[in-house]
Amino acid sequence: MSIWRTEENTPPWKGRYAPYDLVKELCIAVVVIGLLAVLLTVLLSSPDDKPSTIAQWSHELPADFATTAAKELDETSPTAEYGPPYNHSSGSVQHFLFLHPQRWFGVSHPINTADDFVIKPLETIPNNPALQKALAEYKAAPEKQKKEWSEAYAKPLEAYSEAVEEKKTPPTTVAVDQSTGTVTVKASGAGPVPTMMASLQGLAQSGGVDGSLLTSNQFFQTDYTKPLLFMADGGLLAERAEAQHLLGKQWGLMNETGSYPGQPWLWLYALWYQVEPMKSSPNADIQVLLIMGLLSLAFICIPFIPVINRIPRWIPIYKLIWREHYRAGESAAGGSTS
């Protein structure tokens, strides 16, 4: 017996056949579905919210940009601490029991946040002697010194962000001019970092960081990993997402901007993130994907899973589907057939 053959055999149909035009039916279906899609288009259109840019982020949320950039420099941002495939950290590395696939596949898209998000963009700024001097001083310093400078600069910014988030009075060490998008940080012991970060803010607002994060050895660019990760470390994307009900706690993975249906077929996938232990687990993603992998396998194998493959016989929805057939059978057989 073939492994493809499920336990129940069905003999070849020896009953009557009704005329049927397969090609005509398909053509009619295409026209109907096409018209339905046009009708939905005319009535509801489709969403297209403009993408955010680093220039926009640094203008609208200058303190958030400065805080994020400081964390990229001292390598304490989510991306800096992520782990594979971006670097060798472990902040976002997940595992399940003995399964460590994130580690196994290694660093395939290497990102050094200090170099890639701060130093290299600054190196593209010409004719700025103060910045060149600050950069040279920073690059020549030992790692320990760099860390002390960047931490000294980041600390007041983090205190400022916390105060804003908790709606408390912000510390006076950080002055933000929202109209010009400038951030002034009074940080003692930060060495050349304030000069560097002021230049980065200016470069970002001019659109220079957007461009420099796409630059590589190639002329043509299609990989937006660096600018997207930089922006995702900050608060602009999340702020917009929350307003559009797109956060994870809002079943965001299956939603899209506006009141459009999004990807409702992901409901089961999104569901697992709402229940414990996945809801509060640092390994939620791998747990959910393993669950969905098993469920997908079971879905494919339904014909061969005992009990599951018998349910359709026990719950006779089939009597509704084939009611015409059973009615005809009753007439032909002259009695009850169920």
Q: Which of residues 37-56 bind another protein (CB under 8 A)?
A: 37-38, 40-41, 44-52
**Rounded to the nearest 5°, which phi and psi values hold at 184?**
-115, 125
- Closer residue to another protein, CB minimum distance, 159 or 328: 328
Q: Which of 211, 278, 283, 291 binds another protein (CB under 8 A)?
A: 283
Separation between Cα atoms, residue 184 and residue 199, nearest integer Å:
12
- Closer residue to another protein, CB minimum distance, 157 or 231: 231
Separation between Cα atoms, residue 157 and residue 67, nearest integer Å:
5
CA-based R_g, the chain, Å: 30
Separation between Cα atoms, residue 313 and residue 309, nearest integer Å:
8
Q: C-alpha distances in angstroms, 280 versus 49, 151, 194, 287, 291? A: 31, 30, 38, 12, 16
Q: Which of 72, 148, 205, 289 binds another protein (CB under 8 A)?
A: 289
Q: Name the one range near another protein by CB under 8 A: 8-16, 66-74, 138-146, 189-197.
A: 8-16
CB of 167 to another protein, least distance (A): 26
CB of 32 to another protein, least distance (A): 7
Is residue 98 at the binding interface for another protein, with CB under 8 A as the rule?
no
Closest to 209 in 3D by CA, of 53, 50, 80: 53
Is residue 36 at the binding interface for another protein, with CB under 8 A as the rule?
yes
Q: Which helix (H) or strand (E) holds 175?
A: strand 174-177
227-266: contacts with another protein (CB under 8 A): 228-229, 231-232, 237, 240-241, 244, 246, 248, 252-253, 256-257, 260-261, 263-266
Q: Which of 130, 175, 294, 321 binds another protein (CB under 8 A)?
A: 321
- Closer residue to another protein, CB minimum distance, 94 or 161: 94
Q: Name the one range near another protein by CB under 8 A: 120-128, 178-186, 187-195, 286-294.
A: 286-294
Is residue 204 at the binding interface for another protein, with CB under 8 A as the rule?
no
55-94: contacts with another protein (CB under 8 A): 84-85, 92, 94
- If one counts every other C-beta atom within 10 angstroms of the C-beta of residue 337, the result is 14
- Closer residue to another protein, CB minimum distance, 84 or 208: 84
| 103-142 footprint of another protein as x/- string (CB under 8 A) | -xxx-xx---------------------------------
- Say how far residue 103 (Cα) sits from the centre of its chain: 20
Is residue 177 at the binding interface for another protein, with CB under 8 A as the rule?
no
Is residue 23 at the binding interface for another protein, with CB under 8 A as the rule?
yes
* Cβ(160)–Cβ(171) below 8 Å: yes
Q: Which of 90, 101, 130, 184 binds another protein (CB under 8 A)?
A: 101
Separation between Cα atoms, residue 69 and residue 121, nearest integer Å:
12
Joined tokens for residue 241: 């997402």
* Cβ(114)–Cβ(197) below 8 Å: no
Q: Name the one range near another protein by CB under 8 A: 29-37, 114-122, 173-181, 188-196.
A: 29-37
Compute how many residues bind another protein; rule: CB under 8 A: 110
Q: C-alpha distances in angstroms, 204 versus 62, 176, 201, 335? A: 10, 16, 5, 82
- Closer residue to another protein, CB minimum distance, 175 or 321: 321
Separation between Cα atoms, residue 115 and residue 81, nearest integer Å:
14
209-228: contacts with another protein (CB under 8 A): 222-225, 228
| Cβ-based neighbours of 305, under 8 Å, separated by 6 or more | 298
